[in-house]
Structure 1
């Protein structure tokens, strides 16, 4: 499919057969490391060099998937959500020497889109991501969070000729609903984990070591 994203390894407009998540620890990505080269080698080991890859410190077992069907359009969104480095747009929090989280979203549309249609679909997906985060009312010193400093979104669709995917279209409604629902579910889960007693959370995200649960 045609994929539009700002992923580390294959940003912009590309053709891809997979969108992959790679769970990482802080130790995997020390300062000064060539992350693109490291990720390229990781993908090569899986024979997945053509994949669009998203990096997350959120334990990937906590992914959320939602599907929306509007008219003849079906959109499926998958999201991993962690807000340990949450930000409010237009403001910045000092996260020096702290752990990093992220929100990663991939949405697949079954309708053939042009590059213009992919761009507009991306705008809807980002809008839905932001709305879901804001509706969770996660407060920062700078205000209610709108996302994180390391979010990434990827939109995939068959190559086609449809240019319009705004809020008034079936495509825009399906993309928006699928992404909103997936991110909202992820926000609910992440916030509820923060409220649990430490002993109740001790088994979560065991694969990520000191980064677990982000």
Structure 2
């Protein structure tokens, strides 16, 4: 359960600590947070303290393997069986963190960005398992109502897409707006008076957009550089 009395995080305090020890990238809050997203093990609204990125390869998940069971086993192996988790084939050492403060609200974003599973909204390609994807965690310093959580998700998605469209053009085909396996999770304190709105006209919406855009853009640029290096190595 979420302890409301433990949730008075100040603007100066770091929203979460994170560490990278491949194949895991782990973020831990100082106390449980309420979350909204579509992660495999904690879809919808949930209360968690730990968020884990798990780097995987095709050989880890052949068709006969239950992906959720695989993920639970991975989390249990590091003593975090209740964690919210992402899976990605992106090198998780390529993670990106940015913060944005607007008025009395602070947003922080931690993301990994891979685009080999790129899609354009309104069209889709044949499904490809375990390819590069975008997994994004956003923390806001103020509690949110259910409606504000939903607005926050929409702002994060807009910021992610703007960063992709403005930074990356596939070698062939139209610009992409995301990947087929993207996941976004918004986290906020459990206690206190919740903010009722988180749209583009609000301070929290601006803070979320700024943090997500900056982190995603940096991730896209890193992805493009890695792909250019890989193409160059393949021609040597």
TM range (shorter): 0.7 to 0.9
Give the Å deviation of 1:162. 1.3
Q: TM-score by structure 1 length?
A: 0.88
What is the total number of aligned residue pairs between the two structures? 200
The one of 179, 186, 192 aligned to 2:219: 186
Give the Å deviation of 1:99. 6.0
The corresponding residue for 2:139 is 108
Q: Deviations over 1:114-162 (max 9, x none)?
A: 2211111111011111111111142365510101101001100012521
Structure showing greater relative contact order (alpha-carbon pairs closer than 8 Å, 6 or more residues apart): 1
**Matches of 1:199 and 1:145 in 2, distance apart?**
23
1:122-141 → structure 2 map (5 Å cutoff): 122-139=153-170
Q: Is the 8 A contact 1:109 1:157 kept in 2?
A: yes
1:41-190 → structure 2 map (5 Å cutoff): 41-94=73-126, 100-139=131-170, 142-159=173-190, 160-190=193-223
Q: Is the 8 A contact 1:91 1:142 kept in 2?
A: no
Q: TM-score by structure 2 length?
A: 0.80
- DSSP 3-state at the match of 1:145: coil
- Write 1 or 2 for the structure with the bigger share of helix: 1
Q: Structure 1 regions of 5+ residues with no counterpart?
A: 202-214
* RMSD (Å), alpha carbons: 1.8
Q: Deviations over 1:81-100 (max 9, x none)?
A: 1111111111123355x761
Q: Structure 2 regions of 5+ residues with no counterpart?
A: 1-32
